[in-house]
A and B are shown apart, each in its own frame.
Chain A
Amino acid sequence: MPGANINLIPRELKKEFRVREVRKSVNIAGAIILGLSLISAGSLVIAGSMLRRSYNDILAKTKNEEQKIIDMRSLEQDADRLETKINALQNIMKGRKRYSYLLRILSDSTPEGIKVSALTAGLGNDITLAGTADNYITLAKFLLGLIDPDLGGRLFLSVDLSSVSLDERVGLARFLISVKLKEGEMIIK
C-alpha cells in the first residue's frame, strides 16, 4: 500500500513533542500537589481556629454556670446535707431493734408462777433468761408459751432449757433458758 509507511514528521520533532508533553504533565502535577497542599493546610488552619473559638465559647459559658452555682452555694450545701443525712438515716433505720417489743412479747408469754430475774440480749439473735418457777409444770407452761404462735412464737423461733435445778431452801425451780429470735422480727419497720 503506497504511503502507509511514510512518516511526514521528523523523528526529532516527535521526540521534542513528547518531551514537551511530559514537561506539561509534570508542571500540572506540581501545580496540583501544591494546590492540594495549600488547600489542606488552609483547611486545617480554619478548622483549628473554629475549634478554638468553640472551645473558648464553652469555657466562657462554663464560667457563667460556675458563677451561678457559687451564688447558690448555701442552697447546694443544704441540699447536700439533706441527701447525706437521708442516706445515712436509711442505713441506720435498717438495723434498729425494738427491744420494747421483746419485753412486750416476753410479758405476754410469762405465766403466773414464773419470775424472770435476768435477761440478756446481745447483738445476735439469742437471748438468755434466768429466773425461778413455782414448779416444773409452770416452767413447762412458760417454755410452751415462749413458742406459742399467739404468744412468744410471734418473735421467738426456738427455746432451749439450758439448766433447771430445784432450790430446796425456797422451794422454787431455778432455770436458765436460751431463746432464739426470729430473723428480722425485732427490726423496727
Chain B
Amino acid sequence: MTENLNKYRENINTLRPYFPLTAALVISLLLAIGVSLPQIKNLITLSGDNSKSTAYFNSISKKATKLTDLLSLHEVLNSNLALVDDALPGEEMIPEMMNQIERISTESGVYLKGLYFGLKSADNKKVTEASVVSLQVEVHGPYANLRIFLENLEKSSRLITTENLRFDSIDTKEEGETLKATSTLVAYYVSKPKNISLSKPMTLDLSSKKLNETLAKLKELKPYRIKVETMESGKLNPFD
C-alpha cells in the first residue's frame, strides 16, 4: 500500500512540470469553445446583417434625398400630373368618357347614334400599368365630318385608341343618304395605387428626355374636361 502510494507520488512529481502546459491548453480550448467560436459565428452573422443594413440604408437614404429634392419641384410635378391624369385618368373617370365622346361628336358635326361599353378589361387586355375599357361607337354623318371626328378623337387629351373602323353608305328616312361609321374604341385607366413599400426605389427623373417628350406630346392634345357631378337621388318609383 505504502509502496503504491510512493509510486503514485513519484509519478505525480514526474508529471507536475507539465501541469502549466496542460492547464494552458485546457483554458485555451475552453476559451476557443466558449468565447472564440461563438464570437466568430456572431461576427459572420453580424457582418452579413451589417452589409445588408448598409445597402438598405444607402438605398432609402438615396430615396429620401431624391424626395427632398422633389419637394422644391412640387409645382412642376403637379402640373405634369394634371396632364397625365387627363390622358390616363383613374377608374372613377370611366363614365365621363361617354360625355367626352358625345362632346367630340357634337363638335365634329356627326350624330352619335350609339355607344356600347364593353366589359372592363373583358379580353384581359392590359397595357403594362394601365387597364383598358373598350366601347363600340356608331356615328352618322358626312365623310368630311367623320374624318374630323376621328381626328378629334386622336387629338383628345384623354388617350383613346381606334382599334378598327367600318364605313358604310346608308340611306335612312330621317337622315337621307349618309355614312355610318362603326368603330371599336379603347380607352385606358389606371387603378388607384397600392401602398408603396419603403424599399421601392424612387426612379422618377423630371428632367429625363423620355418623360419630357411624352409631356410635350400631351400638351398638344385638346382637353375635353367634363365633370360628372353626383346629384341628389332617391326616386320613389324608378319606373315612373
Q: Which residues of A approach B to under 8 Å, CB–CB?
A: 19, 23, 26-27, 29-31, 33-34, 36-38, 40-41, 44-45, 47-48, 51-52, 54-55, 58-59, 61-62, 65-66, 68-70, 72-73, 75-93, 95-100, 102-104, 107, 115-123, 188
Judged by DSSP, the binding face of B is helix
Interchain CB contact under 8 A, A23 and B47: no
Count contacts between A and B, CB distance < 8 Å. Answer: 220
Contact of B147 among A36, A78, A87, A100 (CB under 8 A): A100
Q: Is B57 within 8 A of A103, CB to CB?
A: no
Q: How far is the CA of A84 from the CA of B196 in the complex (A)?
A: 12
- Give min CB distance, A80 to chain B, whole Å: 6
Question: Are the C-beta atoms of A77 and B196 separated by less than 8 Å?
Answer: yes
Does B94 make an interface contact (CB < 8 A)? Answer: no
Interface of A is mostly: helix
Question: Interface segment, B2-10, B19-27, B111-119, B227-235?
Answer: B19-27
Q: Is the CB of A100 within 8 A of B84?
A: no
CB distance from B204 to the nearest CB of A (A): 5
Given A41-B32, A68-B68, A85-B87, 20 other A-B residues pairs in contact with their CB atoms under 8 A: A31-B24, A41-B39, A44-B39, A45-B35, A62-B60, A69-B63, A75-B67, A79-B204, A80-B193, A84-B190, A86-B215, A92-B88, A97-B162, A100-B148, A100-B154, A116-B169, A118-B168, A121-B165, A121-B166, A188-B154
Would B129 and A85 count as touching, CB distance under 8 A? yes
In the complex, how many angstroms separate the beta carbon of A87 from the nearest chain B beta carbon? 6
Q: How far is the CA of A80 from the CA of B165 in the complex (A)?
A: 36
- A86 and B84 in contact, given A26-B21, A41-B31, A95-B161 (Cβ under 8 angstroms): yes
